[in-house]
Amino acid sequence: MSGNGNAAATALARIQTDSVVATLKALYPGLQFEIIAMSTTGDKILDTALSKIGEKSLFTKELEHALEKNEVDLVVHSLKDLPTVLPPGFTIGAICKRENPHDAVVFHPKFVGKTLETLPEKSVVGTSSLRRAAQLQRKFSHLEFRSIRGNLNTRLRKLDEQQEFSAIILATAGLQRMGWHNRVGQILHPEECMYAVGQGALGVEVRAKDQDILDLVGVLHDPETLLRCIAERAFLRHLEGGCSVPVAVHTAMKDGQLYLTGGVWSLDGSDSIQDTMQATIHVPAQHEDGPEDDPQLVGITARNIPRGPQLAAQNLGISLANLLLSKGAKNILDVARQLNDAH
């Protein structure tokens, strides 16, 4: 088993991997699990915005190489780092129960108690995400948004020890997993900032043909999280979005309905298209199922979850993407890509 990250970045990756291992050990007390820490390109390139690097497998390539060579049997990722199309031979064999998917604001010590709305004019807010910057510039036009890279420790140190940033935006789930609940100064609601596809969920990547490992990790699937993330990933995939364009989502399951809200933004947030669709999907219990010819949906294999709800979730994501495309989303995304590539 592998968790990605170098020595400085591994804290969160290790915590995430440990949590998956702890669950597997409880389910399979007779099995031994060895954890191998590895670095990825995304961990090493810390001076360039992720959207500029142009590499779809920033946080996965080295780990998939180890999977391919049978050096490891499963890899734990933040699901939002996994592309919606995986290389041949790999699949996401489990999606664990999602933690809080929303973004959080961490304030410089002198601004503790403030909100983004009450920060002084021209305050600088750090984020490495085009998605966050586009939405928040639109909502909080009195603030300036500037790129900040590095692992969680590095970003928090830059915030606390330098005077450049008044606040930074991070994923709530990462802060909570690190035990830094006290640093969360504000949680951003969907009306302020929708989250990244898959944010807050962990994905376990395995070899697509390794039935023993697929069976082993398949019990980790959380049915509701799985269906929400299939819808989100199908939406992103059909839009052909990624980290180089501002695309965001919000999903909710209520009374047998899966609600998916999705949006695209121009880089400065001035132009956007958003909409919501819903589908009737009952969260299924896990069940035993036989192999299928092509079991993957948006890179995910879940043979122990009924196929019908998975297909319905995928169709919901595709339908919402088509709706946004019919309203002009492709033009917004094309311009955003061109501008991002030019800077």
38 CB-near residues (< 8 Å, 6+ apart): 2, 3, 4, 5, 62, 63, 66
Interatomic CA distance for residues 185 and 270, integer angstroms: 26
Interatomic CA distance for residues 110 and 166, integer angstroms: 8
Interatomic CA distance for residues 185 and 89, integer angstroms: 42
Asked if 81 is an active-site residue, the reply is yes
CA 238 to each of CA 94, 219, 222, 247, 336: distance values in angstroms, whole numbers, following the listed order: 22, 28, 24, 12, 17
Asked whether 135 and 269 are in contact (CB, 8 A), the reply is: yes
Long-range pairs, 209-212, Cβ under 8 A, ≥24: 209/89, 210/73, 211/291
In 187-281, where does DSSP find H-type helix? 211-218, 223-239
Helix (H) or strand (E) holding 174, with range, is helix 172-177
The helix-helix angle for 10-27 and 152-161 (nearest 10°) equals 140
Catalytic residue (one of 81, 103, 210, 222): 81
Structure tokens at 209: 């043909």
Which one, of 38, 49, 241, lies nearest residue 127 by Cα?
A: 49
Q: For 36, phi and psi rounded to 5 degrees?
A: -120, 120
- Alpha carbon 208 to chain centroid distance? 21
User: How many Cβ atoms from other residues are within 10 Å of residue 187's Cβ?
Assistant: 14
Q: In what order do the strands lie in the sheet with 90-95?
A: 36-38, 2-4, 75-78, 202-207, 90-95
Asked whether 147 and 130 are in contact (CB, 8 A), the reply is: no
**Among all residues, which ones are annotated catalytic?**
81
